[in-house]
Structures are given as C-alpha cells and as structure tokens.
C-alpha cells in the first residue's frame, strides 16, 4: 500500500526530499484506493505545504508535534503514558518488527507513527488495513485534536482512518477533548519541565536514556514484506479505548 509511504513522509519532519519527489508523490496519491474527496484533500495538503518556505514549515511542525504530549506521534505515549507498560510494549513491538524481517537501529522508536506506517506499507493491503485498525482509536484522537487546532494535518489522519475502514466517531472524540487544557503553552511546558526535573533528580542518572528523536536511517523495504497477518497488538480484546493524556471522561 504505497499511499502509506506518502502519508508517512508527510507526517515525518519535513525535508527537501518532499520537494524533490512532489510529482511522484502526487502520482501515488492519485493511484491510491482513497476516495476522490480524500485524494483531493491530500493533494491540496501536499501542494499547499510544498508551496511554503521549508524553514517555516519545519518551525510550524516543531511547534505542533514537539511541544506537549497531546499531539505526540509516538503511539505508546497515548496508550501507556509514562507507565512501566510502555517500555515492555516498545520491546514487544520491536520484536514483532524483527519477526516480519525489519531491524531498526537503537535510535529508532518503534512506535513512531511514520515508521509504523512505512512498515505497514510493506505488508500487503490486508495486513496494512489490519495494522491501521489496531491504532485507529489513537489516529482518531490525533485527528480530533488537530481539527480542534484548525490544523490541516488532520487531513493525513483522516486519510489513514479511511484506509483503515475502522468505525471511529470523530464527533464523539471532539466532545471528549472539548474541555482539554492545551499542553503546548509556555505555562504548561514549564510545569512539565519542573515535574520531569523532580523525577529525574529523584531517580538519579542511570546513564541509559533513550533518544526521543527517531532517526530516518533504517526503513522497511518491499523485500521485508511478509504475507502473514501483522502481529501487532495494541489493544486487549479488540477494544477501542485509548488511555489518552488529558481526555476527560
């Protein structure tokens, strides 16, 4: 499912590669299984974004996805938060990648959505759809938050939800997050920084930390495709609940 490669690139940190590949990306979008409405929206996103100055786009990307946790592109940030379950989930997902023929570097975070999408793009249409369904609740949550902030990045999440064929009630999600406090304001960021400093000083420096910036070196290729069902399990018993930071019950 090549369209997942396009969306992966657009969700990742913007680089000159996008400008150099515009024509090819547009062709993939036009040939995809997306509806005409979704294709037009995605093509408009691509055109509008590539018309921007690259440095302005990068600055906007940083302010949107790198500040606060509510729009984190790390799947387990929304599912496990800072609980111990997150570390084990990362280990399990990385092991499942290896079983499918993909080895990622130690600097890669396996739950980084662009990486996950590139992996799914090599797994065949049915497996890719199943993999998207597994994370559809998180994708829906991100889509709702991006819509709340009037960000055109919501187009990418809507495209993924359409490809997943999952039934996600975005109107209900919008209601759930309507009372959320923004976590990307200077005040909110200062509070998080203070809390993390206290935790760090309490725990001590064990010298093992992980990078929060996934590299773009090792990506799955078509040769790493396997025909079996993608063995990625994010939710127990097929539930669609998301342990999302800041969502009021």
Helix axes 3-11, 154-164, angle to 10 degrees: 150
225-236: average pLDDT:
48
Residues 6+ positions from 179 with CB-CB distance below 8 Å: 248
Q: Which pLDDT band holds residue 246 (cuts at 50, 70, 90)?
A: very low
pLDDT per residue as tens digits for the range 12-36: 999 998 988 999 999 999 999 999 9
Has residue 247 been placed in a domain? no
Higher-confidence residue: 102 or 121? 121
- Give the pLDDT of residue 248: 39
Does residue 138 fall inside a structural domain? yes
Asked whether residue 245 carries a pLDDT value surpassing 60, the answer given is: no
Q: Say if 26 falls within a structural domain.
A: yes
Higher per-residue pLDDT: 14 or 219: 14
Task: Classify residue 248: in a domain, yes or no.
Answer: no
94 in a structural domain: yes
Q: Which residue has the higher pLDDT, 193 or 138?
A: 138
Instruction: Give the number of domains in the chain.
Output: 1
Q: Which pLDDT value is given to residue 212?
A: 41
Domain containing 142: what range? 3-201+214-238
In sequence order, which residues have a C-beta less than 8 Å from that of residue 25 and are 6 or more positions away? 6, 9, 18, 46
60 or 102, which is more confident? 60
Residue 145 forms part of a structural domain? yes
Residue 143 lies in a domain: yes
Q: How many CA atoms lie within 13 A of 180 on its CB side?
A: 24
Q: List pLDDT tens digits, range 107-164.
A: 778 889 999 998 899 889 999 999 999 999 999 999 999 999 999 999 999 999 999 9
Task: Report the predicted TM-score, pTM, of the whole model to 2 decimal places.
Answer: 0.75
Predicted confidence (pLDDT) at residue 231 exceeds the cutoff of 70: no
Q: Which long-range contacts (CB under 8 A, 24 or more apart) does 20-23 make?
A: 22/46, 22/50
Answer whether residue 97 shows pLDDT above 60. yes
CA gap 76, 130 in Å, rounded: 18
Say if 37 falls within a structural domain. yes
Tokens 């662009």 belong to: 114
The pair of structure tokens assigned to 27 is: 């062709």
More confident residue, 161 or 174: 161
CA distance 118 to 21: 16
């Amino acid at each position: 499912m090549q369209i997942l490669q396009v969306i992966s690139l657009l969700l990742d940190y913007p680089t000159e590669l996008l400008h150099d590949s515009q024509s090819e990306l547009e062709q993939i979008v036009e040939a995809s299984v997306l509806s005409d409405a979704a294709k037009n929206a995605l093509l408009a996103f691509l055109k509008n974004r590539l018309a921007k100055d690259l440095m302005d786009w990068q600055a906007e990307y940083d302010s949107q996805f790198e500040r606060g946790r509510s729009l984190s592109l790390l799947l387990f940030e929304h599912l496990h938060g800072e609980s111990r379950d997150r570390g084990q989930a990362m280990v399990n997902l990385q092991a499942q990648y290896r079983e499918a023929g993909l080895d990622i570097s130690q600097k890669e975070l396996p739950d980084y959505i662009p990486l996950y999408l590139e992996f799914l793009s090599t797994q065949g249409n049915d497996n890719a759809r199943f993999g998207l369904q597994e994370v559809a609740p998180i994708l829906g949550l991100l889509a709702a938050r991006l819509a709340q902030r009037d960000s055109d990045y919501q187009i990418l999440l809507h495209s993924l939800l359409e490809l997943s064929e999952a039934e996600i009630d975005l109107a209900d999600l919008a209601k759930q997050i309507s009372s959320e406090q923004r976590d990307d304001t200077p005040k909110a960021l200062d509070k998080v920084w203070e809390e993390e400093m206290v935790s760090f000083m309490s725990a001590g420096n064990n010298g093992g930390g992980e990078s929060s910036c996934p590299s773009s070196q090792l990506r799955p290729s078509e040769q790493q495709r396997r025909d079996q069902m993608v063995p990625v399990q994010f939710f127990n018993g097929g539930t669609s609940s998301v342990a999302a930071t800041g969502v009021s019950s």
